Amino acid sequence: MAKMKAPSGSKKITKAWLEFMLAEYESKERPGTSVSVADFSVKQGIPPGEGFNSELVLVDITAELSSGPGDAQEKTYHLAAKFLHVDPIAAELNRRFQSHIKELRMYAEVVHELNAFLAAGVPEESQICIPKMIYGKENGSEYVLVMENIKAAGYMTNDKRKGLDVDHVKRSVEEIAKVHAVSYAYNKSHNFLEKFPCYQFKAKYLNIIPAFLKFSLKNCVACLNTVKGKEELAQKVGKAHPILSKKFHALFDDFGNECLCHGDFWNCNIMFKYQQHDDGQEQTLEGIKLIDWGNSSWHNPMIDLQYLLHTSTTLELRKTHIDDILQKYHTVFTSLTTKLGAPLPHYSYSAFREDWERTAIYGFILGNITIQGTLSTTYSTTKSQGPSILDHGALTPIRLVVNSIKTGMAKLIGPIILGKFVGIMLKPIQREILSGTNEVLNARLLDVLCEADEKGLFDE
């Protein structure tokens, strides 16, 4: 089958490319299958601004498949396609951190490898659940990842403003515990990073955190200043940046590299499917799939647990159910690693809880930053962007020059430029916090601040 250049974005998707891509996919099961696309539509997969690492579009296709004379059949496809972000700065940062490569390899190789290992060791255990990959290509100049659109199969995300309830949290930690346990056990006999070196955690991944922390803490002080009786805590948080930075980096100095972690494990990267009962009222959680693996790396599993609990649950839930949730994770993780021949004999639940408390600093810092970025309604990147004058065909040369300048800027970006960029992004959130109009944002932010203070995270 002749090769075809992948489109660079949603506007470049053509009928010819769809036919080529689907023929390659279908020929894996029925060699020689040809595909003739009768109709297709392309629409944005997420609201403007929510795709920080990539452009996500949904593609619906009606096609006719044929693998020989008299063997034609009609088939409908509901797909999700990811391309590098159209903004040159975002695309360059994406390349710098290899997010696109890591996500493509997760779908193309890693999960298949881990599931094969799991099936061989514990055949009765359900597989790691991610959307099915249809097509992928990455060669430096081209990148596209096409998956099944699981929304069309009934999967949906939970409302991020409400947060996950206890049943959804338990199901989520059960699934991530499986990923952690299988990769941990696999590594004992196969050396995961030797086969998949792009998942090696690198210190440069942390370089972006100090800038976000500095400005997010200013917003935290603004939040506390809107609450009567929190003046003392506001002063403490205002002086906490060097303390938190020191604790955060010390944590990573002795964090341990143990398993494959998702890295962005929060509410909107977990999709659930429900079974509707006959009465039309009740529904049962039936399935779960984990999406968006671009931030995955080989690290300590606590980064996923801390991130999930501090970005996607309320303080009330954590106080009421934290022990049940952590018990669920610990049971699944230790049971599955034992079944796979890699037991952790000295990792009792009490030792696990010590790890949880020790890594609370990670939960607060990432939770604080992510809550501001995801719950704000004035976050600059979520504003819809209309068509640019540079999109006009006659101005293509100018657009190319502008894009090359942006790309050059991204390659030179350093702590000072990054700090100014982050400050510009987070300033509108501070105004929203001070206005008091976003009650959910202010309440969740206040919760993580009070919780962190109770744990002594702002103290020397």
Q: Is 108 inside any structural domain?
A: no
Low pLDDT (below 50) residues in the chain: 48-49, 380-412
Q: Based on the fold, state whether residues 133 and 180 are members of the same structural domain.
A: no
Q: Based on the fold, state whether residues 179 and 322 are members of the same structural domain.
A: yes
Q: Is 184 inside any structural domain?
A: yes
Q: Based on the fold, state whether residues 309 and 180 are members of the same structural domain.
A: yes
pLDDT, one tens digit per residue, over 24-45 is 999 999 999 999 999 999 998 8
Cα dihedral 139, 140, 142, 143 sign? positive
Instruction: Note the pLDDT of residue 98.
Output: 87
- Examine the fold and report which residue of 334, 358, 382 is the final residue of a domain before the chain moves on: 358
Instruction: Note the pLDDT of residue 382.
Output: 40
Q: Based on the fold, state whether residues 167 and 310 are members of the same structural domain.
A: yes
Q: Based on the fold, state whether residues 212 and 88 are members of the same structural domain.
A: no
For the beta carbon of residue 76, count every other beta carbon within 10 angstroms.
Answer: 11
Q: Based on the fold, state whether residues 346 and 374 are members of the same structural domain.
A: no
Instruction: Note the pLDDT of residue 91.
Output: 67
Q: Based on the fold, state whether residues 299 and 426 are members of the same structural domain.
A: no
Q: Based on the fold, state whether residues 270 and 316 are members of the same structural domain.
A: yes
Q: How far apart are CA 18 and CA 54, in angstroms?
A: 20
Instruction: Note the pLDDT of residue 55.
Output: 87
- Examine the fold and report which residue of 303, 327, 358 is the final residue of a domain before the chain moves on: 358
Residues sharing a CB contact under 8 Å with residue 376, sequence separation 6 or more, in sequence order: 382, 428, 429, 432, 438, 441
- Examine the fold and report which residue of 325, 358, 391 is the final residue of a domain before the chain moves on: 358
Instruction: Note the pLDDT of residue 107.
Output: 97
DSSP string, 262-310: -SS-SGGGEEEEEEEPTTSS-EEEEEEEE---TT-EEE-THHHHHHHHH
Q: Is 19 inside any structural domain?
A: yes
pLDDT, one tens digit per residue, over 58-100 is 999 999 999 877 788 999 999 999 998 766 666 667 777 889 9
Angle separating helix axes 349-358 and 360-375, nearest 10 degrees: 60
Instruction: Note the pLDDT of residue 280.
Output: 66
Q: Based on the fold, state whether residues 192 and 240 are members of the same structural domain.
A: no
Q: Based on the fold, state whether residues 270 and 225 are members of the same structural domain.
A: no
What is the total count of domains within the chain?
Answer: 3
Q: Is 106 inside any structural domain?
A: no
Q: Based on the fold, state whether residues 400 and 457 are members of the same structural domain.
A: yes
Q: Based on the fold, state whether residues 168 and 268 are members of the same structural domain.
A: yes
Buried (b) or exposed (e) across 264-274, using 16+ Cβ within 10 A? bbbbbbbbbbe
Q: Is 252 inside any structural domain?
A: yes
Q: Is 116 inside any structural domain?
A: no
Question: How remote is the C-alpha of 28 from its chain's centroid?
Answer: 29
3-state secondary structure of 314: coil
Question: How remote is the C-alpha of 255 from its chain's centroid?
Answer: 21
- 10 Å CB burial of residue 71 (0-12, 13-18, 19+) is exposed
Tokens of 79: 């797909």
Which residue range is the domain that position 383 belongs to?
202-256+360-460
Q: Is 122 inside any structural domain?
A: no
